[in-house]
Amino acid sequence: MASEGRPMGILQRSSRLIRLLAERGPLSTAEVAEELGMPRPSVYRLADALTQARLVESSPDGKLRASLRWLKLSDAARSGMREWSHARSLLDGLASRTGQTIYLSVPQADRAICIDWSPGRALSVLALKPGRTLPLYAGAAGRVTLAHRPEPLEDYLRAAPFPPLTEHTLSTARELRADVEAITRRGYSVSDEDVTLGIGALGAPITSRDGSFLGALSLAGLAEDLRVGRAELSADLLTYADELSAATE
């Protein structure tokens, strides 16, 4: 029985390591060991195996990072998602129209994971990238997912208060209930420096033909740009979200 469980344990540790690198970016072996609660020798062995599989690589400063092979794997994964077959052209169209970075995210447990994007301005300081996730209480994609996913809101809020990412993060149950009501009323979410200082985002739901929530379309850029242009940007976002919803199978 122990020999049967060992491969599963290795896969679980590998998954945790890759997810950590995807969410946090390059990390030293010591940082990985601390984050995952693993001995450094175990991290070295695991990283070496993943490097041989070309899933992890060393950055110029010697830190571990997810390899570029994940870009090919993510493209292959997206090609298998028939419901998003028309997404790329719409993401590019919205990015071209607004000049902002556009994201397509889907629910993953209690987080929202980005599965595609079309880069725009302020790219280097944006927290969300393909393969990375955000908690449901933070960011435009996360909070529009929280407002529209079928799971009961109160079940999620039992874990509140949540650890803030910035001084502007909505972390209490009361704040998040009010935010969900606002999202439902206006049709989109507003993220104003709650994930990264100086960065804002807007998020809209993508639904199937029967009204089921499928994912989130969001745009992100400099917070001041979004404050000034919010009316026009939100209108464009909702239009493209409706088009993407209509195009899903």
Tens digits of per-residue pLDDT, 15-54?
888 878 877 778 898 998 998 899 989 888 888 888 888 8
**pLDDT at residue 2, as a whole number:** 43
Highest mean pLDDT among 26-40, 69-83, 123-137, 215-229: 215-229
Percent of the chain exceeding pLDDT 90 equals: 55
Domain 2-67 is found in CATH 1.10.3720.10:
no
Residue 246 has pLDDT above 50, yes or no: yes
Give residue limits of the domains in the chain.
Answer: 2-67, 71-247
CA angle 49, 54, 56 (to 5 degrees): 70
- More confident of the two residues 123 and 229: 229
Alpha carbon of residue 90 to chain centroid: 18
Residue 249 has pLDDT above 80, yes or no: no
Q: Which fold has domain 71-247?
A: Beta-Lactamase (3.30.450)
**pLDDT at residue 226, as a whole number:** 96
Residue 75 has pLDDT above 80, yes or no: no
- Mean pLDDT (the chain) is 87
Q: How far is CA 27 from CA 10, 59, 139, 173, 198, in A?
A: 20, 9, 23, 32, 24
**pLDDT at residue 112, as a whole number:** 92
**pLDDT at residue 175, as a whole number:** 98
Residue 151 has pLDDT above 60, yes or no: yes
**pLDDT at residue 231, as a whole number:** 97
Residue 191 has pLDDT above 90, yes or no: yes
Of 204, 129, 140, 128, the C-alpha closest to 168 is: 140
**pLDDT at residue 4, as a whole number:** 40
Alpha carbon of residue 197 to chain centroid: 17
**How would you class 119 by CB atoms within 10 Å of its CB: exposed for 0-12, middle for 13-18, buried for 19 or more?**
middle
